[in-house]
Amino acid sequence: MKILVTGGLGFIGSHTVVELQSKGFEVVIIDDLSNSSEKVIDGIVAITGIKPTFEKFDLKEKTKVQDFFKRHSNISGVIHFAASKAVGESVEKPLLYYENNIGTLVYMLQELSAMQSANFIFSSSCTVYGQADKMPITESAPVKEAESPYGNTKQMGEEIIRDTCKVVPALNAIALRYFNPMGAHPSTEIGELPIGVPQNLVPFITQTGAGIREQLSVFGGDYPTQDGTCIRDYIHVVDLAKAHVVALERLISGKNTENYEVFNVGTGTGSSVLEAIQSFERVSGKKLNYKIVDRRAGDITAAYADTTKANTVLGWKAESTLDEAMKSAWDWEQKIRK
Ligand code: WQD
């Protein structure tokens, strides 16, 4: 079966391509290389021995999207990662985010709606919950007003898919609400490419550990949590990638009970920033140079998943601990600095 993975050379996309190939799927990747590199294909081949088909183009070019589906009429499923994902950048450039994240989703859904039957996995985010009132967060927690245009594109994306599924019964979709992806494939052949100054915690930790960054700033030590720092649900990217394959197989096998379903994808365990730092120090044997500074605007205090639905309905559960995920991140950091 042939699966289209948009953004398949990106961080989560490339790990998902590896898991798809390991399960025998044929993979076609579309990526515009705006936040990735063609060299990632070598890493995928090093792990699976299978070279995915790769087409480089921008999904904002509607005619190219239409032409792609004419040439690949036997697509059994689409996993749609392609999107801009920097929260801060989205605040400065909202139209870039609405055009890229929403426009390309609409073009994708227009093609899928014309197919006999279509299976679609959407990359969503726990950011749709904002600061949820209750921890752990279930899928029935209310979607709150987005804190950023990036977060809004995830909320709008889910609504666009839901409304489309209502009028296109042949379209089966699952939105996966990611918590905080981290780490890298244990082979260290693929991982999160260090492009620019890392906005996310874990790459900043490993780059500080590697001496690329002088010191980690911990954004806020006065939150109402056990150690005053924010709590998140850090999930190993390989566990997250596997969730996409399980979700896709659910749709292909017709096990879905509605044609639009939503699942939280996290570990179910919350870890504070200081606990993430302690995890790094354990797995690396190095002391991390950090300083607690002011809070970062827009940060929420806590977010970690109730994974009951993913565990019982989807039949997926995260396997890696924080230390295992942090070790994979550190191994990757050391590999790319060689
Ligand atoms: C985690 C914690 C920071 C950097 C965002 C998006 C989410 C997804 C993941 C794309 C927070 C603290 C961070 C640093 C720090 N993005 N931190 N020093 O903000 O939970 O989620 O990235 O899909 O949609 O919202 O992740 O890694 O930026 O921050 O103290 O240098 O680490 O304050 O508490 P976040 P993050």
Pick from 180, 213, 189: which is nearest to 332 by CA? 189
Q: Give me the pLDDT at residue 194, please.
A: 87
Q: How confident is the model at residue 49 (pLDDT cuts 50, 70, 90)?
A: very high
Give percent of the chain with pLDDT exceeding 90: 97
Q: Give me the pLDDT at residue 138, please.
A: 98
Q: Give me the pLDDT at residue 13, please.
A: 98
**Mean pLDDT, to the nearest integer, of 271-285?**
98
Q: Give me the pLDDT at residue 338, please.
A: 87
CA of 93 to the centre of ligand 1 (A): 19
**Mean pLDDT, to the nearest integer, of 150-162?**
97
Q: How confident is the model at residue 206 (pLDDT cuts 50, 70, 90)?
A: very high
**Mean pLDDT, to the nearest integer, of 237-246?**
98
Q: How confident is the model at residue 175 (pLDDT cuts 50, 70, 90)?
A: very high
For the chain, the average pLDDT equals 97
CA dist 223 and 221 (Å) reads 6
CA dist 27 and 4 (Å) reads 6
Q: Give me the pLDDT at residue 71, please.
A: 97
Q: How confident is the model at residue 75 (pLDDT cuts 50, 70, 90)?
A: very high
- Please check whether residue 90 is in contact with residue 149, taking contact to mean a CB–CB distance below 8 angstroms: yes
- Name the active-site residue from 97, 129, 150, 234: 150
Pick the atom of ligand 1 nearest to 296's CA: 33
Q: How confident is the model at residue 153 (pLDDT cuts 50, 70, 90)?
A: very high
Using DSSP's 3-state secondary structure scheme, residue 176 falls into strand
The answer, yes or no, to whether any atom of ligand 1 lies below 6 A from the CB of 201, is yes
pLDDT for residue 133 is more than 90: yes
Pick from 14, 35, 9: which is nearest to 244 by CA? 14
Q: Give me the pLDDT at residue 191, please.
A: 98
Pairing outcome for strands 118-125 and 171-178: parallel
Domains delineated in the chain: 2-181+235-265 (3.40.50.720), 201-232+268-332 (3.90.25.10)
The answer, yes or no, to whether any atom of ligand 1 lies below 6 A from the CB of 218, is yes
Provide the Cα torsion 243, 177, 59, 11; round to 10°. Answer: -60
- Residue 150 among the catalytic residues: yes
User: Which tens digits make up the pLDDT trace of 97-129?
Assistant: 999 999 999 999 999 999 999 999 999 999 999
Pick the atom of ligand 1 nearest to 200's CA: 27
pLDDT for residue 195 is more than 90: no
pLDDT for residue 147 is more than 90: no
